[in-house]
Amino acid sequence: MVNIIVCIKHVPDTETRIKIKEDKKGIETTGIKYIISPYDEFALEEAIRIKEKHGGTVTAITMGPKRADDILRTALAVGADNAIHILSENGDSINTVMTIGEVIKTLPYDIILTGKEAVDYGMGVFPSGIAEYLGINNINNVTKLDISNRSLVASRQVEGGDEIVEASFPVVISAQKGLNTPRYPALPNIFKAKKREVKILDAKSISVPPFISGGSLVELSLPPPKKGAKMVEGQTPEEIAAKLIKMLKEEAKVL
């Protein structure tokens, strides 16, 4: 029996065209479609697989505004047992770590799974932050996980290869692409999930130690528009290929 907690976040669909608010401190949220952050989806799938193989319970937690309820329903539909929604309009990384950390402290846990980063702000602070806050083991960017006897062996991607790491419970694992292929929920379960209970907590009522945030947001800006593609001209394929290789070597410096 493994007690698994999976932390997931509602983020703008990666296909969304982002518009920045006038004060440059946030994005326009009207008309945006939200999804579960893709790395969190791997974490959720892994949690369900561990439960299916070894038994146990999966508790999905999200911290975010009311609309984030959707991803908890999806989590319940694919097989999570419990869901906790910490209502909060915004929260910087440190505050999020500590608030979720306080909630996790009240629960039994062996493995905490989450994505390696949320694809909205891409901070990547959460996995190690939560491990540090709880004072437990942590393995990041995991692409393979084997559980045995209250410990696990994880493969993690490092530059140029894989690193195999062993850790005992409790442990925080952050998921990298490749860990698994997430399933789609059986559709009737979406309707059943709607009737299940999601425990709602107000972030403001959870007390966290005083802290000084490491930084503050100055402003957001969009990346410059992409420059047009460069056509490689030439008479023969050989000539074009030679030119392309030259450009890759001298201009793009990727070869």
Partner 1 sequence: MFELTEEHKILFSTIEKFAKEKIAPVSNKIDEEDEIPREIYMELRDMGLLGITIPQKYGGSEFDMKTYAGILEIVGKYSGGLALSLEAHNSLGLSHIFEFGNEVQRERFVQKIINSANPVAWGLTEPQAGSDAKNLLTTAKKEGKHYILNGSKIFITHGVLSDYIVIIAKTDNGITSFIVSGDSDGLTKSKIKGKLGMRGTDTAELNLDNVPVPAENMLGKEGDGYRQAMKILDGGRIAIAAISVGIAQAAVDSSLKYMKERSAFNKTLDNFEALQFSISELQTDIEAGRLLVYKAATLKDSGDSYRKTAAMAKYFTSKTAMKAADFAIQVHGGYGYFSEFGINRLLRDAKLLEIGEGTSEIQKLIIFRELTKD
Binding site for partner 1 (CB under 8 A): 33, 35, 69-70, 73-74, 77, 183-188, 190-191, 193-194
Give CA–CA dist 190/69, Å, rounded.
Answer: 12
CB of 119 or CB of 165, closer to partner 1:
119
Please identify, using beta-carbon distances, which residue of 87 and 107 lies nearer to partner 1: 87
Name every residue whose Cβ is closer than 8 Å to that of residue 81 and which is 6 or more positions away in sequence. Answer: 51, 57, 58, 59
Closest listed residue to residue 212, CA positions, set 126, 122, 93 = 93
Burial call 12-32: b when 16+ CB within 10 Å, e when fewer: beeeeeeeeeeeeeeeeeeee
Q: Rounded to the nearest whole angstrom, what is the least distance from the CB of residue 186 to partner 1 in the complex? A: 5
- Residue 123 CB, shortest distance to partner 1, in Å, is 25
As measured in angstroms, the least distance from the Cβ of 64 to partner 1 is 16
- The nearest distance, CB 108 to partner 1, in angstroms, is 29
Question: Rounded to whole angstroms, how far apart are CA atoms 60 and 198?
Answer: 10
Question: Which phi and psi (to 5°) does residue 9 adopt?
Answer: -130, 145
In the bound complex, what is the minimum distance in angstroms from residue 167's beta carbon to partner 1?
32
Q: Which is nearer to partner 1, 35 or 118 (CB)?
A: 35
Smallest gap, in angstroms, from Cβ of residue 210 to partner 1?
38
- Taking every pair of Cα atoms in the chain, the longest distance, rounded to a whole number of angstroms, is 71
Q: How far apart are CA 145 and CA 65, in angstroms?
A: 32
| Closer residue to partner 1 (CB): 177 or 194 | 194
Q: Where are the alpha helices (DSSP H) in the chain?
A: 38-54, 69-78, 93-105, 126-134, 187-195, 237-250
Instruction: Tell me how far, at minimum, the Cβ of 77 lies from partner 1, in Å.
Output: 8
Which residue number, 184 or 216, has a Cβ lying nearer to partner 1? 184
Nearer to partner 1, 6 or 77 (CB): 77
Nearer CB in complex with partner 1: 76/98: 76
Q: Do the strands 151-158 and 137-148 form a parallel or antiparallel pair, or are they unpaired? A: antiparallel
Secondary structure of 83-144 as H, E, C letters:
EEEEECCCCCHHHHHHHHHHHHHCCCCCEEEEECCCCCCCCCCHHHHHHHHHCCEEEEEEEE
